[in-house]
Chain A
Amino acid sequence: GAVVSQHPSRVICKSGTSVKIECRSLDFQATTMFWYRQFPKQSLMLMATSNEGSKATYEQGVEKDKFLINHASLTLSTLTVTSAHPEDSSFYICSAYTLLSEAFFGQGTRLTVV
C-alpha cells in the first residue's frame, strides 16, 4: 500500500528554537497533505491543509506564523514549529490521500520542548 514517511520520529529541542518536520509520500503524488496534532489520550485535531504550490489553509485557532507549512513538491510537505515553547510539546502527524481517497498517515513526530 501507499506509504507516507515522516521524519524525525522524535525530537527534543530547547525553548525558543525552531523544529522542522518532514512528510513525504513515497510512492504516490499528493497535491494535498494534512497536518494533525494529538495531545495525550486525545483524538487527532487538524491543524492545517498543505497545498502543493500554494499557501496552506489553517484551522481556526492555529497560528500560521508559528506553524509554518511548505509544500514545495508533490511528494514533500514540511511543518516548522517556530520559536517552540513547552506548550507546543505534542505528537504531530501528517497524512496524504491517494487518488482512491485512501488516507495514509506518517509515523508521527513526538516533539518535546524543554
Chain B
Amino acid sequence: AQKVTQAQTEISVVEKEDVTLDCVYETRDTTYYLFWYKQPPSGELVFLIRRNSFDEQNEISGRYSWNFQKSTSSFNFTITASQVVDSAVYFCALLFGNEKLTFGTGTRLTIIP
C-alpha cells in the first residue's frame, strides 16, 4: 500500500526565514514518482516538481529546493528567504505506475510579514 505522511499540519515563519516542509512516503515499489503541489487560497493546485525514484539528485529552482533521500523515504521541500506569497497549503504526493496519486494531508504554511 502507498502512503504519504506530512507530519507538520501547520507552520508559521516570519518573512525571509527559511522553512522546510517534510514528506515521508511508503511504497513497496521500486519505480514511482513523487510530487509537490502548492494550493493557494484560491484553491487551484499548482505543480511544483516531479521526481522519479531513480533520480536522487537534489533540485533547486530559485528559492525552492528539494531533498530526496531514498534511504529514509523522504522528499523534503525547502523554501529559502520565504515571502508572504508563499503562504499556502503544500501537498506531497506519490504516484506508482499510472495509478492514482496518493496525497499527504498537507502542510499549511503561513508567512508572517
Q: Chain A: residues with CB nearer than 8 A to chain B?
A: 1, 32, 34, 41-44, 46, 49, 91, 93, 95, 97, 101-108, 110
- Majority SS at the chain B contact face: strand
Distance in angstroms between the alpha carbons of A30 and B106 in the assembled complex: 26
- Majority SS at the chain A contact face: strand
Closest residue to A98 on the B side, CB-wise? B50
Count chain A CB atoms within 10 A of each CB in B33, B45, B93, B103 and give the residue with the most.
Answer: B45
Which of B35, B43, B93 meets A91, CB within 8 Å? B43
A101/B91 contact (C-beta < 8 A), A107-B43, A108-B44 known: no
* Minimum CB–CB distance for B105 against chain A, Å: 5
Tell me if B100 is interfacial: C-beta within 8 Å of chain A. yes
Tell me if B13 is interfacial: C-beta within 8 Å of chain A. no
